[in-house]
C-alpha cells in the first residue's frame, strides 16, 4: 500500500476496528479487551506495510505476520476485516457455536490471511523466524516477516533465545513489534519483571531497536519501513492498555473483564 493512502485511511480504519473489538467483546462476553485495544494502530500499520491481499492470501510466497500475543485475537480479526482479509460474517459469530474464530488467534482455511495459531506466549518470535528461514532457503529474503509480541511475553526465555538466533544470523527481513502497554496479566511490568533498559537489551542481541508512540500510526509505519541496517529490527511501541475506553484504560482488570453495554458508545 502506498504510504499516502495508508496514512489517509488509518484513522478511520483504526476507529472502526476499535468499535468492532468492543462489540465482539460485549456480544461474546469475551476477555482480553484491554490487550486488544492497545495494539490496533500497530496492527493497522503492519497490514499497511505488507503485500498481502485478498488475491494472494493463500500464496506460499508472500510477506508473513505472526501475531504472537494471540490472546488479543479480537484486534487481529478486526484489523483483517478493515483490510478486506476476512469476511465480516466471521466476526459476527465470534465465539459462537458456528465460529471459525476462537479467543486466541486460530489458523483456519476460511481465513488464509492468518499465518499462525498463537497464544502460548513466548513462541511467536520463533515461529516468525521459521518463516524467515523458509524465505531465505527459497532465495526470497526480500519477503518481510512481522511478529507482534506483548511486553509480558518478553519475560519468557524462549523469546530471547529466538532474539539471539535472529541477531546472530542477521535476519534483517524480520521485524518484531512489542506492544509495550506496561501492564501484563497481574500487575505492571515494572513490578513483575522490569524490562528496562528494554531497547538496549535488544541491541545487545544484535537488533536495531527504535521506540515510538504505538498509537501514532505514522510513527509506527515509519519505524516499520525505514531502511534496513543488516540486522533484525524491533519496534518498542509504547501503548495504553484499554485505549479508547476511559473506564478501563491502564487497568489490570481490562485484561480479564469483557466490554459493557456503556462501552459500545465510547469506542
Identify which of 115, 125, 116 has the alpha carbon closest to the alpha carbon of residue 153: 125
Question: Any bridge partners for residue 140, and if so which?
Answer: none
Residue-range definition of the domain harbouring residue 141: 3-265
pLDDT grade for 1, boundaries at 50, 70 and 90:
very low
Rounded Cα distance, 85 and 206, in Å: 34
- The model carries a pTM of 0.96
Q: Is the pLDDT of residue 206 over 70?
A: yes
Distance CA(96)–CA(90), nearest Å, equals 10
- Any alpha helices (H) in the chain, and if so which ranges? 3-28, 33-37, 40-49, 73-82, 88-92, 124-137, 157-169, 189-193, 198-204, 217-225
Domain count for the chain: 1
Please answer whether residues 122 and 66 qualify as being in contact, where contact means their C-beta atoms are separated by less than 8 angstroms: no
**Any idea what DSSP says for residue 149?**
E
| pLDDT for the residue 180 | 98
- For the stretch 23-54, pLDDT in tens is 999 999 999 999 999 999 999 999 999 789 99
Query: For residue 141, what pLDDT band results from cuts at 50, 70 and 90?
Result: confident
Count CB-CB contacts under 10 A for residue 92.
Answer: 14
CATH of the domain at 160: 3.40.50.970
Give the dihedral of Cα atoms 162, 168, 173, 177; nearest 10 deg.
Answer: 40
Is pLDDT of 238 > 50?
yes
User: Cα-Cα-Cα-Cα dihedral of 182, 184, 189, 193, to 10°?
Assistant: -150
Task: Write b or e for each residue in 142-181: b if 16 or more Cβ atoms lie within 10 A of its Cβ, otherwise e.
Answer: ebbbbbbbbbbbbbbeebbebbebbbeeebbbbbbbbbbb
What is the secondary structure of 56-110 as a DSSP string? Answer: TTT-SSS-EEEE--GGGHHHHHHHHHHTT-S-HHHHHTTTSTT-S--SS---BTT
pLDDT in tens, 146-171: 999 999 999 999 999 999 999 999 99
Distances (CA, A) of 177 to 1, 85, 89, 223: 19, 21, 29, 10
Amino acid at each position: 500500500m502506498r504510504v499516502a493512502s495508508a496514512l489517509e485511511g488509518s484513522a478511520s480504519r483504526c476507529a472502526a476496528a476499535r468499535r468492532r473489538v468492543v462489540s465482539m467483546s460485549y456480544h461474546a462476553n469475551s476477555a482480553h479487551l484491554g490487550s486488544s485495544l492497545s495494539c490496533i494502530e500497530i496492527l493497522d500499520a503492519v497490514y499497511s506495510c505488507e503485500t498481502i491481499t485478498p488475491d494472494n492470501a493463500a500464496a506460499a510466497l508472500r510477506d508473513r505476520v505472526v501475531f504472537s500475543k494471540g490472546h488479543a485475537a479480537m484486534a487481529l480479526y478486526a484489523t483483517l476485516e478493515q483490510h478486506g482479509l476476512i469476511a465480516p460474517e466471521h466476526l459476527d459469530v465470534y465465539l459462537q457455536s458456528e465460529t471459525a474464530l476462537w479467543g486466541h488467534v486460530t489458523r483456519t482455511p476460511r481465513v488464509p490471511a492468518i499465518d499462525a495459531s498463537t497464544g502460548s506466549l513466548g513462541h511467536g518470535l520463533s515461529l516468525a523466524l521459521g518463516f524467515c528461514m523458509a524465505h531465505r532457503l527459497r532465495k526470497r529474503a526480500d519477503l518481510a516477516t512481522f511478529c507482534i509480541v506483548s511486553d509480558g511475553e518478553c519475560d519468557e526465555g524462549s523469546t530471547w533465545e529466538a532474539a539471539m538466533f535472529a541477531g546472530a544470523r542477521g535476519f534483517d527481513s524480520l521485524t518484531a513489534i512489542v506492544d509495550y502497554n506496561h501492564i501484563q496479566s497481574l500487575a505492571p511490568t515494572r513490578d513483575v519483571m522490569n524490562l528496562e533498559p528494554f531497547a538496549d537489551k535488544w541491541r545487545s542481541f544484535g537488533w536495531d531497536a527504535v521506540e515510538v508512540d504505538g498509537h501514532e500510526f505514522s510513527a509506527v509505519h515509519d519505524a516499520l519501513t525505514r531502511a534496513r541496517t543488516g540486522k533484525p529490527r524491533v519496534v518498542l511501541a509504547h501503548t495504553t492498555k484499554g485505549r479508547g475506553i476511559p473506564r478501563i484504560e491502564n487497568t489490570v482488570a481490562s485484561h480479564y473483564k469483557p466490554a459493557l453495554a456503556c462501552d459500545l458508545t465510547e469506542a
